[in-house]
Amino acid sequence: MTMRKRLIEWVVLGLVVGLSACGDDAGSADDAAGTGTGGGGDDAAAMCDPVGATPEVGALLNAPVAADVEVIQKTPQHPGAPGPVDLP
């Protein structure tokens, strides 16, 4: 029972951390719209992996930036799923 409860806690925590690290717009319709041959609803979500293969790198890459930092949300133009895994 305790293990099950802990598992649920980890899942909930993971969802919360993932969503907060990815920002409010990461999974929005605008981001997922795509144009041309690329884009797609799964692209933006899959690219937003706050951990990756190396947790410390993920933490540095996804650390909050100051308000004056310019961040561009680009609709991917490549075919297929985003990397880094399962690239052709």
Contacts to other proteins by CB under 8 A: 21-23, 26, 35-38, 47-54, 56-58, 60-63, 65-66, 68-74, 76-79, 82-84, 87-88
Direct distance between the N- and C-terminal alpha carbons of the chain, in angstroms, rounded to an integer: 43
Report, in Å, the least distance between residue 81 CB and other proteins: 8
Measured from the CB atom, is 7 or 31 closer to other proteins? 31
- Please state whether the peptide bond connecting residue 50 to the residue before it is cis, i.e. omega within 30 degrees of 0: no
Measured from the CB atom, is 4 or 24 closer to other proteins? 24
Q: Which residue has the tokens 């969503």?
A: 19
Contact 31, 74 (CB under 8 A): no
